[in-house]
Chains A and B, each alone.
Chain A
Amino acid sequence: DAGITQSPRHKVTETGTPVTLRCHQTENHRYMYWYRQDPGHGLRLIHYSYGVKDTDKGEVSDGYSVSRSKTEDFLLTLESATSSQTSVYFCAISGGGGNSPLHFGNGTRLTVT
């Protein structure tokens, strides 16, 4: 299995509070991604990174920011959490752009009350 660790695995927070989710990889892969999974929507891309300090927006980026200061870490921040951001968040990594598959972490379940 690809070495991906997401933390925390579960979090409950209140509306309006800031939240940061962490994704740590030990594979030295260039590409990292954050997805959210919601019933009926599959997985939707929030943000991704193609190198240290190189990030771009995905399909559902509003309300989220990311940072990547080291190859191994990709942080997802909800500046002011809302109930619509209750979801399961998955980090994924990939070694190369071409046909390299994405490898997923085990997810973080976030509940915003």
Chain B
Amino acid sequence: GNSVTQMEGPVTLSEEAFLTINCTYTATGYPSLFWYVQYPGEGLQLLLKATKADDKGSNKGFEATYRKETTSFHLEKGSVQVSDSAVYFCALGTISSGSARQLTFGSGTQLTVLP
């Protein structure tokens, strides 16, 4: 079956540090890949996505590249801010009944950025 393995947290960084959160996946076929972010007390928000191999998703300074050869989708940001403190989820998307998008999530990585 499909699965997503994420770097375990929590991760604590100083402001302006470089961020990498590792994500690898196991899937049949050609899934789409996503990063979602969750702020305290809120639902998940889509951060970025990539739909095919070698695609790079980017948003708000975050980037991730869909690497089929290594089955990875690592999240990176060159200079984190305190406001980036949140939980980050990697997910893979497949199509199910009625063409519904079905997401399989990793366990999440808590990021804390200190001033």
**Residues of chain A having any CB pair with chain B under 8 Å:** 4, 31, 33, 40-45, 48-51, 54, 56, 58, 90, 92, 94, 96-107
Contact = CB atoms under 8 A, between A and B. Distances in A.
A97 B102 CA distance: 9
Nearest to B2: A59
Given A54-B98, A56-B96, A104-B45, A99 B89 contact: no
A97 B103 contact: no
Interface of B: 4, 6, 32, 34, 36, 41-46, 49, 51, 89, 93, 95-108
Given A56-B96, A56-B100, A104-B43, 19 more contacts: A31-B98, A31-B100, A33-B100, A43-B44, A48-B97, A50-B97, A54-B97, A54-B98, A56-B98, A92-B44, A97-B95, A97-B99, A97-B101, A99-B32, A99-B51, A101-B49, A104-B44, A104-B45, A106-B41
B51 A50 contact: no
Contacts, number: 79
B102 A48 contact: yes
Most chain B CB within a 10 A radius of its CB, from A90, A92, A102? A102
B107 A56 contact: no
Contacts of B93: 99
A88 to B, nearest CB: 10
Most chain B CB within a 10 A radius of its CB, from A33, A94, A99, A107? A99
B99 A51 contact: no
6 contacts: A43-B44, A45-B103, A97-B98, A100-B101, A101-B49, A102-B101
